[in-house]
Structure 1
Amino acid sequence: MSDIGVVHMDLMAKGGGEAVAMNVLEALQDDHDVTLITLTDPDFSTLNDYFNTDVESIAVRRAGRLAPTINATCGLKYYILQNALLGRYARRHADEFDLLVSTINELGLGTDSVQYIHFPFDWTVSLENRKAIFHPTVEDDCLYERLCTHVAGVTREDVASNTLFANSEWTADAVEEAYGTHPEVLHPPVDTSDFEPVPWEERERGFTTIGRIERSKRIAELIRIVDGVRDGGHDVDFHVVGPTVDEEYYREVAEMAASRGYVTLEGELPRGDLIDLVCTHRYGLHGKRYEHFGMVVAELAAGGALPFVPNDGGQHAIVRDDERLLYDSVEDAVGKIDRVLSDPDLQRELRTSAAEIDRRFGRDRFRDAIRATVAEAVVTQVEEERVPVSNRRSDPTGGS
């Protein structure tokens, strides 16, 4: 068995990145000794229930003291510095593992690692359209940026030498713009196993949105979209599902919901309840701009719902770039939704089956690719160890 270190900041965030990490852990645990290098203490029982995974027998190692302390004290504040420190720690301990695997974008792990990029941190500050980066990141030419970049130790050469995956073609293009190398596209693992869509005629004429309650999800805008659809004569309701990570924004959304009997804030639901909600409602609504992939959009489609999504980012792939399901503004969304809801034949034409979603985005496909890649990378590492030390490339950061 090989020793594999999987690097991820905080599994308890319970987002799409954490779904990827949990599936990577499950894919590797039977064939390798796997250690999770992280900043927090994961509750695998809770995470397995949430993501419908079966992760067990995973060793957990805190990445030193500084980064976990910053995380515990400041939460998402100094997010990019926390990840820089996480990568720095993993790089310093890389010789304890046969292979390092990052499931939280490109970190300074040195050469010959496997890195899954949801969207680049862009340590080199090369991207022109930086509003596409919705996670906190470095800014051009400021003290904080220089500190994070120095700590991270990410170079274009090291990034190019790693095995890179991106969650969508859109993200892969951004990685190429940032670092001059184009990753292989490996769509995230969408769990379709429990979806049993209810016949269309028996579904409620309503919308579901899934995701953490935070400002980037634009839930207030989604409520205004539903307002407009109702004003157009469609008697629809709206269910908002997901944990709260921004209390101030939750209060804003809750105030809007309180005056609308057709809006329900469901909170974080057990997976079975979430699936029931998706499978019994006709439509899905997604609000995040520049979504890097959008696993919940694929889950909505797998449950038989018609998802309407913003006209940017990587989520285009899920709805096959169909302009009838893509919107540019609240007004545009209202108009397009009105047309679809008014035409039963169009609704039938636009629907996607769970089998198609599983074929394109399912978990077995993802796990098989991860297993094969890690196995190949471990073999490559063994072969490189036979190369004389004088012929190997050194770590330009000194590995500190």
Structure 2
Amino acid sequence: MKPDALLFIGNLRERGGGLAVGLWTAQALAERYRVTIVSWAPADLAMLDATYGTRLAKLSNLEVIHAPAWLRRLFRLSAGRLVLLKSMLLMRIAQRLVRHREPAVIVSTSNETDLKRPLLQYIHFPWLYWPRPDTDLRWYHHSLLVLAYRKLCRIIGNYDPERVRQNTTLANSHWTASLYRQWYGQEADTLHPPAVIPDGAMDWAARKQAVVCLGRISREKRQLDVIEIVRRLRARGHGLELYICGFSQDRDYLQQIQEKAARVGSWVKLHLDLPRAEMLTIAGECRYGIHAMVDEHFGIVVAEMLQLGVLPFVHESGGAAAIVEDKRLLWDNEETAVERVAACLEGPDHLASLRRHCEQRAQAYSHRHFMDSILTYARQLETETSKFS
């Protein structure tokens, strides 16, 4: 009989790279363990499999436990999202499960996690650290009300940062690992999230002279800036189209994008809330990509572009820059971004060199490499835990 593993995934309905990590972690653990996922609300595993490429719905050794229905209904009545409070309440639920079930190994893909026993935690960004670092600071984080709220949440979750420091820690990028080391004084190994795409990239000659922008529609992703970069490239005589592909999260910002797209012309094309396979098909037909978020924690879409054979031009900050590992693909303002893309459009040798570089970088983000790494760390933790049980 397989040993038990408990996997803490904060929210199975929160789409993005973080959920991809959680689902592929579950897929990996299921090869060796009976897996219990703890998450806030139930989710359609078959739909998630279709979106992220996993095969969880058909597993017989996988169970999902979520917060009680009455508690979830109570939160739906609240005016705010209260993400931290949800996370701490779910952590409390998971702590009880750990005490009763005593799993052989515990894994969390929801940043810092305290389940009162050493575990393997995957950090997308160390968001529970306090005082809030400038890297992720907003004006409202200074208010006394927010300070009191965070303190109350820690009490409710029985959360102790000292126990977090005892966890084995993985980070999605070297940038995130350095932040964790700086703030917690502990080392974190880097394990890049998997970028899973269909086999077979389209031939370069058959691709459109187009730029793709992937990711959720929200202000920090800066799709308006991407439109402006492509507009300036077109003003230089390059007949590029722009495909903005993502799921709508900020409706006000989406309206601004739609209004700007209508003003500049039909070369801006919006593809919203598409099935993953369709979105990747559209992206794979493009030659270039632009990712504009500042201080992106990782940027799974950049890795996906690499695997699709798209040349991604990335803001030089945060973890996304480490994915491409070439200054010729990095930019810090619109003018530099225009020059970086134009160098490919106007220089065949430059373009060929970057394509070779990106083909090599794409190999680091396979799902098998990610799964094997997760299992290696889980086995090590299981061995260490068994010594003291």
Q: Same fold (TM over 0.5)?
A: yes
Q: CA 1:25–1:152 in structure 2 vs 1: closer, same or farther (change >3 Å)?
A: same
Distance in 1, Cα, partners of 2:349 & 2:311: 13
1:348 and 2:352 are equivalent in the alignment: yes
What secondary structure does 2:369 align onto? helix
Give the aligned residue type for 1:61: I
Residue 213 in structure 1 maps to residue 214 in structure 2: no
Give the Cα–Cα distance (whole angstroms) in 2 for the partners of residues 137 and 304 of structure 1: 40
The answer to whether structure 1 residue 123 and structure 2 residue 129 are counterparts is yes
Map 1:312-323 → 2, pairs under 5 A: 312-320=317-325, 322-323=326-327
Q: CA deviation at 1:71?
A: 5.1
Q: Following superposition of structure 1 onto structure 2, how do residues 220-369 of structure 1 map, counting pairs within 5 Å?
A: 220-259=224-263, 260-320=265-325, 322-352=326-356, 356-369=360-373
Q: Which amino acid aligns with 2:135?
A: N
Contact 2:174 2:319 in 1 (8 A): yes
The 8 Å contact of residues 212 and 286 in structure 2, kept in 1 or not, is answered as: yes
Determine if contact 2:28/2:374 at 8 Å carries over to the other structure.
yes
* Alignment size in residue pairs: 381
**For 1:124-171, what per-residue CA distance to the aligned partner results, in whole angstroms no more than 9, with x for missing partners?**
32634334x9xx989787212222233344434212211110011100
Q: Does 1:383 align with 2:384?
A: no
SS in 2 for 1:34: strand
Instruction: Kindly report structure 1 stretches of 4+ aligned residues shifted beyond 4 Å.
Output: 64-67, 73-76, 136-141, 352-355
Cα offset for 1:377? 1.8
Tell me by how many angstroms 1:40 deviates: 1.4
Specify the code of the residue in structure 2 equivalent to 1:37: V
1:336-386, Cα deviation, whole Å (9 max, x unpaired): 22233221211111115786345312111110111122222223222211x
Q: Which residue of 1 aligns with 2:28?
A: 27
Correspondence for 2:107: 101
1:181 aligns with 2:190: no
Residue 162 in 1 paired to residue 167 in 2? Answer: yes
Q: Which runs of 5+ in 1 are unaligned?
A: 386-400
Paired residues of 1:125 and 1:138 also in contact (CA < 8 A): no
* Conserved 8 A contact 2:289-2:310: yes
For residue 170 of structure 2, give the secondary structure of its aligned residue in structure 1: strand
Contact 2:324 2:358 in 1 (8 A): no
Match for 1:12: what amino acid? R
Find the aligned partners of 1:129 and 1:323 in 2 and give their Cα distance: 22
Find the aligned partners of 2:74 and 2:313 in 1 and give their Cα distance: 38
* Structure 1 match to 2:40: 39
Look up the equivalent residue of 2:246 and give its one-letter code: G
Moved more, 250-259 or 214-223: 250-259
Report Cα offsets for 1:43-101 as digits up to 9, x if no partner: 11111001111113321111346763465445972112222222222123212241321
**Contact 2:314/2:331 (CA < 8 Å) preserved in 1?**
yes
SS of 1:208 mapped into structure 2: strand
The answer for unaligned runs of 5 or more in structure 2 is none
Seen in structure 2, the aligned counterparts of structure 1 residues 354 and 289 have a Cα distance that, compared at 3 Å, is: closer
Alpha-carbon offset, residue 208 of structure 1 = 0.7
**Aligned residue identity for 1:360:** A
CA distance in 2, matches of 1:248, 1:289: 20
Equivalents in 2 of 1:299, 1:209: separation in Å?
A: 12
Please name the residue that 2:65 is paired with.
Answer: 61
SS in 1 for 2:324: coil
Q: Which amino acid in 1 is paired with 2:235? A: D
My pick for the range that moved more, 182-191 or 138-147, is 138-147
1: CA distance between counterparts of 2:191 and 2:141?
A: 23
Q: CA deviation at 1:109?
A: 1.8
List per-residue Cα deviations over 1:13-56 (Å, max 9, x = no partner): 22000100110111112321111111111111111001111113
Question: Equivalent of 2:176, from 171, 178, 202?
Answer: 171
> Is 1:12 matched with 2:17?
no
Question: CA distance change for structure 1 residues 354 and 325 in 2, over 3 Å: closer, same or farther?
Answer: closer
Q: Verify the 8 A CA contact 1:48 1:55 in the aligned structure 2.
A: yes
> What is the percent sequence identity of the aligned residues?
31
TM-score (norm 1): 0.88
Distance 1:75 1:371 in 2: 40
The superposition leaves residues 297-343 of structure 1 with CA deviations (integer Å, 9 ceiling, x where unpaired) of 011111111101111001122111x2221111223212322233221
TM-score (norm 2): 0.90
Distance in 1 (CA, whole Å) between partners of 2:262 and 2:70 is: 42
Task: Give the counterpart of 1:113 among 105, 114, 119.
Answer: 119
Residue 224 of structure 1 deviates from its aligned partner by: 1.2
CA contact 1:119–1:171 (8 Å) conserved in 2 = yes
State the SS of the aligned residue for 1:269. coil
